[in-house]
């Protein structure tokens, strides 16, 4: 089985880069169609769902909390106040830089993969995961993809020309 590092850091970097490319396509599409960027950035699929900036912030926050809770890295404060494509791109770049700064040689991967993780959420209480591996596979990766998928769906709903390869970019290698 691959290490916790291999299952998380390169995967998250790959999909954050894909999110960045989708945002580039969205901004270009808006400019070509004469749409206000604000109309894309504030759109909600349903009234009770969050807009695009929240989805990108949640990608970043999922990564941040994985790094803090499982990889035992210091917390970094991110304000969750991005309102433009440029600010969201900066957020993605910051998140990728953080991931790239983590070296597997500095982590006790066997220990963190097997230790229980307590996730504290002020509004709803604490949740226990039996291990870092469980936190990654049952919470961090699914939550990450939930928000990436929601961002993709917002953009597709608005007509941005995206397809599966935009989401999965870099997964397939021609032979």
pLDDT of residue 120: 86
**Mean pLDDT of all residues in 77-93:** 97
Cβ atoms of residues 28 and 20 within 8 Å: no
pLDDT of residue 86: 99
**Domain range annotation of the chain:** 4-168
Q: Among candidates 88, 50, 70, which has minimal Cα distance to 141?
A: 70
What are the DSSP calls for 3-17, one per residue?
A: -HHHHHHHHHHHHHH
Distance CA 146, CA 132 (A): 20
The angle formed by the CA atoms of residues 19, 76 and 38, to the nearest 5 degrees, is 40
pLDDT of residue 172: 79
pLDDT in tens, 93-132: 999 999 999 998 878 877 787 889 988 888 888 999 999 9
The beta-strand segments (E) located in 4-132 are 117-121, 125-129
Query: For 20, what's the count of Cα atoms within 13 Å in the CB-facing half-sphere?
Result: 17
Q: Mean pLDDT in the chain?
A: 94
pLDDT of residue 106: 79
Q: Among candidates 101, 104, 88, which has minimal Cα distance to 53?
A: 88
pLDDT of residue 1: 63
Tokens of 68: 């803090």
Overall CATH class of domain 4-168: mainly alpha
Tokens of 13: 């970097």
pLDDT in tens, 28-66: 999 999 999 999 999 999 999 999 999 999 999 999 999
The residue assigned the tokens 């953009």 is 155
């Amino acid at each position: 089985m691959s290490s916790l590092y291999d299952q998380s850091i390169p995967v998250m970097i790959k999909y954050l880069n894909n999110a960045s490319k989708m945002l580039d396509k969205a901004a270009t599409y808006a400019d070509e169609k004469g749409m206000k960027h604000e109309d894309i950035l504030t759109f909600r699929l349903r009234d009770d769902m969050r807009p695009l900036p929240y989805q990108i912030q949640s990608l970043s926050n999922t990564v941040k909390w994985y790094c803090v809770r499982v990889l035992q890295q210091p917390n970094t404060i991110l304000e969750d106040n991005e309102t433009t494509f440029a600010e969201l791109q900066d957020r993605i770049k910051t998140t990728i830089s953080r991931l790239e700064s983590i070296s597997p040689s500095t982590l006790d991967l066997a220990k963190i993969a097997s230790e229980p993780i307590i996730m504290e959420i002020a509004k709803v209480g604490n949740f226990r995961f039996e291990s870092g591996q469980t936190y990654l596979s049952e919470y961090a990766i699914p939550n990450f993809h939930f928000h990436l998928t929601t961002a993709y769906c917002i953009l597709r709903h608005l007509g941005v020309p995206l397809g599966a390869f935009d989401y999965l970019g870099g997964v397939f290698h021609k032979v």
